[in-house]
Amino acid sequence: MRCYLAAPVSRVRGAIRVPGDKSISHRSVMLAGLAQGTSEITGFLPSEDCLASMAAMRALGVRIHQRSATDVAVEGVGLRGLQAAGRPLDMGNAGTAMRLFTGLLAAQAFDSQLIGDASLMKRPMERVASPLRLMGADIRTAGGTPPVEVRGGRRLHGIDYAMPIASAQVKSALLLAGLYAESPTSVLSPAVSRDHSERMLQSFGVRVVTEGLRVTLHPPERLAAQHIAVPGDFSSAAFFIVAALLGAHGEELLIQGVGLNPSRVGLLEILRLMGARIRVENERASGAEPVADLRVGASALKGIDVPPALVPLAIDEFPVLFVAASCADGQTRVTGAAELRVKESDRIAAMGAGLEALGVEHRVLADGLWIQGIPEGAAFRGGDIDSRGDHRIAMAFSVASLRAAGPIKILDVANVATSFPGFVALARDIGLEIDEF
């Protein structure tokens, strides 16, 4: 089993770039594969999750040339050009890939089967299967979880669906199926969720209309090949943002080229409410997505009640936010985050257990966590943390080494490669002392 040993450190500084955005990389190979002509993707994230999406598109008959780790050319086969894979499509650890492909494959002329690793095989899939059935799809799950069996040859029709949870994965699966429907597909979300699919579909020439929390896709004739420049992943930057905040007084970290899509940056707002000094510089556009540089200065944080409206905008950042809260003056309460229980691990339970090991006073809530920050000048005790095979739990506790009295050993870290290849090297560049073995 792969492990990290993170030694106590106190200084964080430098100028870095983080790898490409995971959500956008998944979508880029899918939509490029359905387009007419060759699309060029730059800044692609060559992580295990996104490579699973790439492998699935190849298995479905799309020719993809990886010119370098991050530069990819995709020869689109057109909306109706995919072919049966003839074997189960393995999505590995990637919930996004499994849910989006379920939508895409629901509309094809052939049958498909989707499987994944031990974590993914336990994750809920009816949230996509059930609305897709309302569109006319024939999808079976094994009591709600994978394998997902998709029967092809069904004619789909548009629906007007009100999602019970604010899920970009569910919304995106329905929009992908909606590309093939006989009538427009509308999805109403109870709160804002990331809108990368909407933006990218529009770039490919699809009419997607957003009115408040409702998005409507009008089935297109075709998608036109594009150049997609994938911005740096805000969710990967989040670990280094918090590391810089916890660093020694007066130090600063610059993170360049980070995607700042408004539906992703809830963590910035939450951290600012906690007293963080984060400057957004050099704002620009990278195709359909906003990008900027972030200058983060070491800051004294204070505990807050996290506004529930910000939860879906920061959904992947809670593991590292809980570490920040553990270093803040006073109490922090997060509620309305029950979705964390069905991510790559039960992130509320995993973080609670890890904070326990480090001696942080906390209470596990049904839908969140209450944390009493350690007093100023105090430190976590070192100890062993089980990441439960969850990449974001492993990276979050690496950052805790900035306030630890002894080494933190983090178990089961191989899955960091699902989202952030090169994490340890980059963490070392800015001053963390992590050994992997």
Would you tell me which residues interact with ligand S3P (CB under 6 A)? 23, 96, 167-169, 172, 193-194, 315-316, 339
Round to the nearest angstrom and report the end-to-end CA distance of the chain: 8
Annotated active-site residue in 316, 386, 390, 412: 316
Q: Which residue's Cβ lies closest to ligand S3P?
A: 23
Q: Are the beta carbons of 110 and 154 closer than 8 angstroms?
A: no
Least distance between ligand S3P and beta carbon 260 (Å): 16
Residue whose C-alpha is closest to residue 6's, from 402, 278, 392, 295: 402
- Three-state DSSP at 26 gives helix
Least distance between ligand S3P and beta carbon 14 (Å): 27
Q: Where are any strands of DSSP class E within 36-111?
A: 36-42, 63-66, 72-77, 89-90
Least distance between ligand S3P and beta carbon 180 (Å): 20
Within 179-282, where are the H helices? 196-203, 234-246, 266-273
Q: Which is nearer to ligand S3P, 357 or 369 (CB)?
A: 369
Q: Which two tokens stand for residue 78?
A: 């057109």
353 CB neighbour count, 10 Å cutoff: 15
Residue whose C-alpha is closest to residue 336's, from 195, 194, 165, 188: 165
Least distance between ligand S3P and beta carbon 324 (Å): 19
Q: Which is nearer to ligand S3P, 22 or 154 (CB)?
A: 22
Q: Which amino acid is at 4?
A: Y
- 384 in catalytic set: no
Least distance between ligand S3P and beta carbon 123 (Å): 10
Q: Which is nearer to ligand S3P, 289 or 316 (CB)?
A: 316
Q: Which two tokens stand for residue 4?
A: 């990290």
Calculate ∠ Cα 17-23-28, nearest 5°.
95
Q: Which is nearer to ligand S3P, 96 or 286 (CB)?
A: 96
Q: Which two tokens stand for residue 342?
A: 């069905």
Query: How far is residue 177's CA from residue 108's CA, in Å, rounded to a whole number?
Result: 9
Q: Which is nearer to ligand S3P, 290 or 373 (CB)?
A: 290
Residues with catalytic annotation?
A: 316
